[in-house]
Chain A
Amino acid sequence: MTSAWMGTVKFTRHLNFAVAFFIFFFACSISSQAAGVLSQDDKNCLECHSQEKFEKPMAEGEMLSLHIPGKDFAASVHNAVGCTGCHADIDLKKHPQTSKKKITLRSHSMAMVQVCKDCHDDKFKLYEGSIHATLLRDGNEAAPLCSDCHSPHSIRKDTASAPMAEVSCRQCHTPIYKAYAESVHGQIRGKPEGGHAPLCPDCHKAHEVTAASTGNQLKDACLGCHTNALAVHKTWLPNTDRHFEAVSCPACHAPTAKRRVNLRLYDSIAQERVAEKQGVPQFESRARSADSKGLGLDALALQSLLKEFNREGSEGKTILRGRLEVSTGAEAHQLAPKARAIKECDSCHREGAAPFQTVTISIVSPDGRPLHYGAQKEVLNSATSVDSVGGFYAIGGTRIKLLDVLFVLTLLAGIGIPLGHMTLKWLFRRYLRQIEAERQATQPQADSQASSGDNSTSPTKS
Chain B
Amino acid sequence: MHRLYVHPLPVRIWHWINAFGFILLIVTGVQIRYIGLINIMPFKTSVNLHNLVGFVLIANFFLWFLFYLFSDKIKVYLPELNPMKHFRESFRQMAFYGYGIFKGQPNPHHVSLYHKFNPMQSMTYQIVMLLLVPIQIYTGILLWDVERFQTGVNLFGGLRVVDTVHVLLFIFFSGFIFIHPYLASLGHTPTAHFKAMFTGYEEIEEETEGH
Contact = CB atoms under 8 A, between A and B. Distances in A.
A432 B36 contact: no
A457 B96 contact: yes
B83 interface: no
A76 to B, nearest CB: 50
Contact of A387 (B43, B96, B106, B158): B158
B35 A350 contact: yes
Nearest to A406: B171
Interface stretch (A128-136, A238-246, A288-296): A238-246
Contacts of A436: 104
A346 B164 contact: no
Contact of B177 (A391, A395, A407, A414): A414
Of the listed residues B47, B106, B211, the one surrounded by the most CB atoms of chain A closer than 10 A to its CB is: B211
Smallest CB-CB A-B distances: 9 pairs: A390-B158, A414-B178, A241-B147, A418-B182, A428-B102, A345-B43, A350-B36, A242-B146, A410-B175
Contacts, number: 142
A435 to B, nearest CB: 5
A391 B103 CA distance: 54
A460 B37 CA distance: 51
Given A239-B144, A457-B106, 8 more contacts: A238-B48, A241-B148, A242-B145, A407-B170, A411-B178, A417-B178, A432-B103, A435-B103
27 contacts: A239-B144, A239-B146, A242-B146, A242-B147, A319-B158, A345-B35, A345-B42, A346-B36, A349-B32, A351-B34, A386-B164, A395-B32, A395-B33, A395-B163, A396-B43, A403-B171, A407-B171, A410-B175, A417-B179, A418-B179, A421-B97, A425-B102, A428-B102, A428-B103, A457-B95, A457-B100, A457-B105
A410 B168 CA distance: 11
A460 B175 contact: no
Interface residues of B, number: 53
B159 interface: yes
Nearest to A411: B174
Contact of A239 (B147, B157, B175): B147
A403 B48 contact: no
A258 interface: no
Interface of B: 32-37, 42-44, 47-48, 51, 92, 95-97, 100-106, 108, 110, 144-148, 154, 157-161, 163-164, 167-168, 170-172, 174-175, 177-179, 182, 208-211
Nearest to B170: A407
B174 A407 contact: yes
Given A410-B172, A415-B178, A457-B105, A390 B157 contact: yes
B112 to A, nearest CB: 10
B96 A410 contact: no
Nearest to A429: B102
Contact of B37 (A351, A392, A432): A351
A414 B167 contact: no
Nearest to A421: B182
B158 A391 contact: yes
Contacts of A387: 157-158, 160-161
A418 B146 CA distance: 38
Contacts of B106: 457
B202 to A, nearest CB: 17
A454 to B, nearest CB: 11
Nearest to A418: B182
Contacts of B209: 446, 453, 456, 459
Contacts of A432: 102-104
